[in-house]
Chains A and B, each alone.
Chain A
Amino acid sequence: MPTPIAELPAYQGSVPDPSSSDVLRVDAEALTCWLVLFLRDECIRRRGMDKAIVGVSGGIDSAVTAYLCARAFGPENTFAFFLPYKLSSPESLEHGRMVTDALGCHARTIEITEMVDAYLAKYEIEASPTRIGNLCARWRTAILFDQSAKLRGLPIGTGNKTERLFGYFTWHADDAPPINPLGDLFKTQVRQLAAYLEVPEPIRTKPPTADLVRGQTDEGDLGVAYEVADRILYYLVQGWRAESLVRWGFDARAVEVVRNRVAATHWKRRLPTVAIVSETAIGEFYLRPVDY
Chain B
Amino acid sequence: MAWTAAVVQIAPQKANVSANLERIGEAILRCAAEGADLVVFPEAALTGYFLEGGVIEVALSCEELGRRLATVAGTLPKPVDVILGYYEARDGLVYNSATHFALEPGSAQPIHTHRKYFLPTYGVFDEERFVARGTEIRAYDSRFGRMATLICEDVWHSITPMIAALKGAQTIVTIAASPARGFQESKPRSLQTYHRILQGMAEEHGVWALLSMLVGFEGGKGFTGGSLVVDPFGEVAGEGPVGEEHILYARIEPEAVLVARQQAPLLADLAGVLEDIIQELQSSEDELCPPR
A80 CA to B217 CA, complexed, in Å:
25
A11 within 8 A of B: no
Contact of A30 among B186, B216, B218 (CB under 8 A): B186
B residues in contact with A38, CB < 8 Å? 217, 220, 222
Is B108 positioned at the interface, with any CB of A under 8 Å from its CB?
no
Whether the Cβ atoms of A292 and B11 lie closer than 8 Å is no
A27 within 8 A of B: yes
Q: Which 3 residue pairs spanning A and B have beta carbons closest together? A: A287-B52, A41-B217, A287-B53
A61-111 contacts to B, CB under 8 A, are none
- Decide if the interface of chain B is mainly helix, strand, loop or mixed: loop
B282 within 8 Å of A by Cβ?
Answer: no
Q: Is the CB of A42 within 8 A of B54?
A: no
Residues on A close to B: CB < 8 A?
A: 25-27, 29-31, 33-34, 37-38, 41-42, 45-46, 179, 184, 286-292
Q: Is B287 an interface residue (CB 8 A)?
A: no
Q: Which of B11, B183, B185 has the most CB of A within 10 A?
A: B183
Q: Contact between B222 and A30 (Cβ–Cβ < 8 Å)? A: no
A selection of 9 A-B contacts at a CB cut-off of 8 Å is A25-B184, A30-B186, A179-B220, A184-B220, A288-B52, A289-B14, A289-B219, A292-B14, A292-B54
Q: B32 near A: Cβ within 8 Å?
A: no
Taking the closest CB of chain A, its distance from the CB of B73, in whole angstroms, is: 25
CB atoms of A27 and B222 under 8 A apart: no
Closest to A39 in B: B217
Residue of B nearest to A42 (CB): B217
Residue of B nearest to A30 (CB): B186
Measured between alpha carbons, how far is A179 from B217 in the docked complex, in Å? 12
Contacts of A25 in B (CB 8 A): 184
In angstroms, Cα B223 to Cα A37, docked, is: 11
Residues of B within 8 A of A287 (CB): 52-53
Choose from B14, B184, B219 the contact partner of A26 (Cβ within 8 Å).
B184
Contact yes or no, B54 A27, CB < 8 A: no
In the bound complex, what is the Cα–Cα distance between A26 and B186 (angstroms)? 9
Chain B positions within 8 Å of A289 at CB level: 14, 50-52, 54, 218-219
B68 beta carbon closer than 8 Å to chain A: no
Q: Counting CB contacts under 8 A, is B167 at the interface?
A: no
Given A41-B11, A292-B51, A30-B219 contact (CB < 8 Å): no
Query: What 1/0 flags go to B1-34 for Cβ under 8 Å of A?
Result: 0000000000100110000000000000000000
Whether A41 pairs with B222 at a CB distance below 8 angstroms is yes
Which interface residue of B15, B48, B188, B218 has the most chain A CB atoms within 10 A? B218
Indicate if B243 sits at the interface (CB-CB under 8 A): yes
User: Nearest B residue to A183 by beta-carbon distance?
Assistant: B220
B146 within 8 A of A: no
